[in-house]
Structure 1
Amino acid sequence: MPILKRDVNFVFFVIIIATVISFAGFTAYYQSSFKNVSEEYNDKISELSKVTKDLLEKKSILTQTTEALNETKEKVEEKEVLYSELRDERDSLRNERDFLKEDLFKTKTSLAQTTEQLNTANVQVQSQEKKIISLNQDVEYWKGRKESCEDKVEQLGGSC
């Protein structure tokens, strides 16, 4: 039995050595695997940090672009309001201009008619003045004739 006992001890010894060697092998393998996983993790963290940094830069640029776009939109809206006001003022001025042109045309027409009436009246006044002068001359002529007749009647001894 001692041989058996010795063989059993040797078997246990071999099993223990095999276990220790397998633990050592597994430890080395898992340490290597863990090291590789750890390196990959660190690489991914580094890449993620770079991507995060890039995203923050892009976000900053996007924020600036958004602010610039909002400012541009506000300016465009202000210009649209100003354009609308100017267009309304232009339309109002055009309407006023058209009204004033029409009023000017009516006034010119009225002035032409009044000028024509004035010219006609002046012609009539001149004609009437000529008639008055002619009639005054006739009156003077007849007065002279009357006086001449009265003088002749007095010379003849009569009375008028």
Structure 2
Amino acid sequence: MKRQRIIFLSFYSAGILAVLCIVIGLCFLCNDLRFMKNKITRLLEKEQHIQNDASLLLKDNNLFKEVLARHEKEITQSCLGERKSSLEWLSDITDKCSLILLDLRQDSSAGEVVILSAEGPYRECVSFIEELEASSSPFLIHSGELSKGENGDRLKLYLECKKKDEKNV
């Protein structure tokens, strides 16, 4: 009788141990599955965000060209003598730096000051500023600010057209 009891208890404890191992294994499996689901969800969100940015860039490229067409005459008049207009130069640099142009206009109260607002990733904003500070730039940066925007960092610059003798410096 005692022997049967010992055998019964050993099988009973082995069964409980097996059930416990199965439960722990299922917990780990569920945790791994939840982790993988979250990781896949984040990757899909990133992909959707990239697709949205790409479509915004394509859409805003046309918007940029419309803004250029509206303001090209007045800004080109203030930057005398340049046929590859300063706006075309700004267009090339903005495209190169993948920024979304929000506004481009001349401040009539400040004379030859051009106000440019753009939005994009921080690194692209910095490279855009570096391009503007280059010696080949037809503009001098008068002042500016960098803040958070809806689609990245928002850059607002006040630019002055360089005089012909300043461009070679």
Q: Which structure has more helix as a fraction of its residues?
A: 1
TM-score normalised by length of structure 2: 0.35
Tell me which structure has the larger Cα radius of gyration: 1
